[in-house]
Amino acid sequence: MDSLELYIVKRPLVYYLGFSQLTKGIAFQKQGKYEFSRECVEKYAELGWVDSLNEEGLQEVEDYRTLAKASTYTLDLLQGKEEVLPEYIQFLHEHSAEEVIPGMITILESAIMHNYDINPILKDFAERVGELGGFYREPQNLNYYG
Protein backbone atom coordinates (compact mmCIF):
# COMPACT_ATOMS: atom_id res chain seq x y z
CA MET A 1 0.00 0.00 0.00
CA ASP A 2 1.37 3.42 -0.92
CA SER A 3 1.89 5.93 1.81
CA LEU A 4 -0.33 8.95 1.93
CA GLU A 5 1.66 12.06 1.22
CA LEU A 6 0.67 15.46 2.49
CA TYR A 7 0.91 18.27 -0.01
CA ILE A 8 1.07 21.81 1.18
CA VAL A 9 -0.62 24.22 -1.19
CA LYS A 10 -0.22 27.98 -1.19
CA ARG A 11 -3.87 28.76 -1.88
CA PRO A 12 -7.23 27.29 -0.97
CA LEU A 13 -8.41 24.29 -2.99
CA VAL A 14 -11.17 26.40 -4.55
CA TYR A 15 -8.48 28.52 -6.27
CA TYR A 16 -7.13 25.49 -8.13
CA LEU A 17 -10.61 24.26 -9.07
CA GLY A 18 -11.41 27.65 -10.54
CA PHE A 19 -8.03 28.11 -12.20
CA SER A 20 -8.28 24.79 -14.03
CA GLN A 21 -11.66 25.75 -15.51
CA LEU A 22 -10.49 29.31 -16.26
CA THR A 23 -7.45 28.15 -18.25
CA LYS A 24 -9.45 25.46 -20.03
CA GLY A 25 -12.07 28.06 -20.94
CA ILE A 26 -9.42 30.44 -22.27
CA ALA A 27 -7.98 27.65 -24.42
CA PHE A 28 -11.40 26.93 -25.90
CA GLN A 29 -11.96 30.65 -26.45
CA LYS A 30 -8.67 31.00 -28.35
CA GLN A 31 -9.69 28.04 -30.51
CA GLY A 32 -13.01 29.71 -31.31
CA LYS A 33 -14.92 26.99 -29.42
CA TYR A 34 -17.08 29.50 -27.60
CA GLU A 35 -19.78 27.15 -26.34
CA PHE A 36 -17.19 24.88 -24.70
CA SER A 37 -15.60 27.96 -23.20
CA ARG A 38 -18.98 29.05 -21.79
CA GLU A 39 -19.35 25.67 -20.10
CA CYS A 40 -16.05 26.25 -18.30
CA VAL A 41 -17.08 29.79 -17.35
CA GLU A 42 -20.28 28.44 -15.81
CA LYS A 43 -18.21 26.05 -13.70
CA TYR A 44 -15.94 28.70 -12.20
CA ALA A 45 -18.70 31.29 -11.92
CA GLU A 46 -20.21 29.44 -8.98
CA LEU A 47 -17.72 27.71 -6.75
CA GLY A 48 -19.60 28.43 -3.54
CA TRP A 49 -20.55 24.76 -3.33
CA VAL A 50 -17.04 23.92 -2.10
CA ASP A 51 -17.25 22.88 1.56
CA SER A 52 -15.44 24.50 4.47
CA LEU A 53 -14.43 27.74 2.79
CA ASN A 54 -12.56 30.12 5.04
CA GLU A 55 -12.34 33.86 4.40
CA GLU A 56 -9.57 33.41 1.83
CA GLY A 57 -11.58 30.73 0.03
CA LEU A 58 -14.69 32.91 -0.01
CA GLN A 59 -12.62 35.71 -1.55
CA GLU A 60 -11.42 33.32 -4.27
CA VAL A 61 -15.05 32.38 -5.01
CA GLU A 62 -15.90 36.08 -5.37
CA ASP A 63 -12.86 36.71 -7.58
CA TYR A 64 -13.89 33.88 -9.90
CA ARG A 65 -17.43 35.29 -10.10
CA THR A 66 -15.96 38.58 -11.30
CA LEU A 67 -13.69 36.80 -13.79
CA ALA A 68 -16.67 34.81 -15.05
CA LYS A 69 -18.59 38.01 -15.68
CA ALA A 70 -15.67 39.42 -17.68
CA SER A 71 -15.33 36.15 -19.58
CA THR A 72 -19.03 36.15 -20.43
CA TYR A 73 -18.73 39.65 -21.88
CA THR A 74 -15.67 38.51 -23.83
CA LEU A 75 -17.48 35.53 -25.31
CA ASP A 76 -20.56 37.60 -26.12
CA LEU A 77 -18.47 40.18 -27.96
CA LEU A 78 -16.45 37.59 -29.84
CA GLN A 79 -19.73 36.04 -30.96
CA GLY A 80 -20.91 39.39 -32.33
CA LYS A 81 -23.23 40.50 -29.52
CA GLU A 82 -22.25 44.15 -29.80
CA GLU A 83 -25.21 45.16 -27.62
CA VAL A 84 -23.27 44.10 -24.48
CA LEU A 85 -20.52 46.63 -25.22
CA PRO A 86 -21.90 49.46 -23.02
CA GLU A 87 -22.25 47.07 -20.07
CA TYR A 88 -18.75 45.72 -20.63
CA ILE A 89 -17.27 49.22 -20.78
CA GLN A 90 -19.03 50.05 -17.51
CA PHE A 91 -17.66 46.82 -16.02
CA LEU A 92 -14.12 47.76 -17.09
CA HIS A 93 -14.48 51.21 -15.52
CA GLU A 94 -15.74 49.76 -12.24
CA HIS A 95 -13.35 46.86 -11.78
CA SER A 96 -9.66 46.39 -11.27
CA ALA A 97 -7.16 48.02 -13.55
CA GLU A 98 -5.71 44.68 -14.56
CA GLU A 99 -8.83 43.92 -16.62
CA VAL A 100 -8.50 47.03 -18.80
CA ILE A 101 -5.83 45.87 -21.27
CA PRO A 102 -7.31 42.38 -21.77
CA GLY A 103 -10.71 44.05 -22.11
CA MET A 104 -9.46 46.46 -24.73
CA ILE A 105 -7.89 43.57 -26.65
CA THR A 106 -11.24 41.76 -26.61
CA ILE A 107 -13.06 44.87 -27.82
CA LEU A 108 -10.50 45.34 -30.60
CA GLU A 109 -10.73 41.69 -31.68
CA SER A 110 -14.51 41.85 -31.70
CA ALA A 111 -14.56 45.11 -33.67
CA ILE A 112 -12.24 43.63 -36.29
CA MET A 113 -14.25 40.38 -36.52
CA HIS A 114 -17.64 42.08 -36.66
CA ASN A 115 -16.73 45.38 -38.31
CA TYR A 116 -17.85 48.12 -35.93
CA ASP A 117 -16.28 51.39 -34.82
CA ILE A 118 -14.53 51.57 -31.45
CA ASN A 119 -12.75 54.92 -31.78
CA PRO A 120 -14.83 56.55 -29.01
CA ILE A 121 -14.02 53.63 -26.71
CA LEU A 122 -10.32 53.88 -27.45
CA LYS A 123 -10.40 57.59 -26.65
CA ASP A 124 -12.32 56.87 -23.44
CA PHE A 125 -9.66 54.43 -22.21
CA ALA A 126 -6.52 56.06 -23.65
CA GLU A 127 -5.46 57.83 -20.46
CA ARG A 128 -6.19 54.86 -18.22
CA VAL A 129 -4.24 52.50 -20.47
CA GLY A 130 -1.26 54.87 -20.38
CA GLU A 131 -1.37 54.93 -16.59
CA LEU A 132 -1.28 51.13 -16.46
CA GLY A 133 1.97 50.72 -18.38
CA GLY A 134 3.98 50.03 -15.24
CA PHE A 135 1.52 47.43 -13.97
CA TYR A 136 2.09 45.21 -16.99
CA ARG A 137 5.88 45.48 -16.69
CA GLU A 138 5.91 43.92 -13.21
CA PRO A 139 7.39 40.38 -13.44
CA GLN A 140 4.38 38.69 -11.78
CA ASN A 141 1.98 40.44 -14.18
CA LEU A 142 4.13 40.07 -17.27
CA ASN A 143 3.89 36.29 -17.03
CA TYR A 144 0.10 36.41 -16.88
CA TYR A 145 -0.69 39.25 -19.28
CA GLY A 146 2.40 39.31 -21.50
Share of the chain above pLDDT 70, in %: 86
| pLDDT attached to residue 8 | 79
Computed on alpha carbons and rounded to an integer, the radius of gyration of the chain in Å comes to: 17
Residue 143 has pLDDT above 50, yes or no: no
Residue 1 has pLDDT above 60, yes or no: no
